[in-house]
Structure 1
């Protein structure tokens, strides 16, 4: 019998009433009967069928009818929720999937429909645009949200982000490089929101550590990219670079950096969580680079279960749907609706899921225990293991 991860651990209580409870994620091997959501054509009616029959209702707000990638993401997250419920013994929750349409207005209507069904917690939605429609409605009803958005600006008390935040991934790999003795840093970043987040995190971590940010180059169009690479080559290229480490957000720039004389080995190249893909590992220029990501063993086991149930491989982000449902089922099983109280959701010890330990801050942001990976021989290997628990 294959288990995806160790127990999901949680510590509850403040005044001498602490206890540790365990729920094994995927404790059962049986997959039960369910919708064949792995096939190409699945109707909205099928996607919005309730999952489970427990007494505590939990909404799952996703953009099932949106176009393109968001609709595919919605289906994958719904699949992961279904998988989690099928492998939890006697879940005390019922999941109500509701379509948001991928818009603020649609998400607001979905939240109102969910509250009309007396849900006690909201899982989702997927994007910041949708969260902005759901959050005011849920706040009035005092119903917490565990969202899959990666936009930290929508996090707040009562709106918790379970996603993989770029800030955490960048900070982790920078801390590892600093711990290894790197003192002088450069960064190559695209213009736009993702680049802004990366630059802010880069400046913050390097500055807090008392290290030097020698150069930060940004680019938009091709001409700007060529100019930025030339500037980076001035400090990170050649046999005696002026920096110890170079952070690169987009792996697609690595060939041009190499052409300009910036090479791993002379300078340590640091990447982002976006590099956790086989296409990046196969790039010769990426060999030896480091990036932060979850330890891969949990996802590999999850992938086998998902493939067997839905006849399709899961996208990497699908694990957050599984962990979200496993978490709320565990909390509901222990304390009913009280399990969704802020002090329990934000307990400092956190929880352990498929992708390792995580915890919610009172600000709504998530801390994750990430490994540092090193690209070698067309694959990624763990260079520095993820922590198994959070420090005090």
Structure 2
């Protein structure tokens, strides 16, 4: 069995990291595992293991005929059996299916705005969905939406997973004091709502000036990012809040931190949340998407409502003020993530699905 993971870029986003995770993990279980990025490479290219076959199409537009022909040729030459298309790469996967009807096409829905599905555009996706053999969704809201709006009848929930976090890459050394760092792993996008986190941290600063906040994620140099930088300067936070952009070595970054935070307005199942758990951090997150399936109670961490800076600030300060509770939560969450969101559990399920196809669900 030969399976290709298809993704539009290798920037350090959640869907991109999962595509790489799948390609790497599957290389240990199937005849050959491949990964193709269509539009852009990025930091994640360095995390692809040598046993994964790799293709970069450098596609310049939706209808880039040259890139399309390269992709079809690669599929035929490498005798690919299954294309597992992640997020917005479904269109190219559909074109491949049209040329090779025997090709199995799986679509993986990582849509992050799962709290705002009423506004999701889907006309092209709906047409393509008639060619999907089955669909994986990263949370149950997405599963319900896909069943309602798309043509594919085989739609299943599949949790994200995390692998061991390597700490050898010591490229990014964080500022601030050891034992007093709060980290947010999230690209600078509006749905991640960093401004609420900054407002919460502004309250924390007055009570705990020795603690610092570290924002790690791609800076798109747009109005959203500029507004964050303006707020940091205007509120006198430049000595406590630090922006790093996209970084390698997530494991090493988390090793330097004590509390992990997500302040999102909307999520699917955030990979960062699982990484916080695997990295043994105490966690505060907003109650969106499937975060409640990871932070299931107060023993696992703190859940607050989205867009509530005061509640977010209070939850973080609970951990700052109570070392024993903070330590216990980190241990419980670490064990929970290892048990329920491990590579072995998810990959075993996916390999069975690949082998049996839709027959497995009849």
- TM-score category (smaller protein): 0.3 to 0.5
Give the alignment's TM-score, normalised by structure 1.
0.33
Which structure would you say has the larger RCO, counting Cα contacts within 8 Å and 6 or more residues apart? Answer: 1
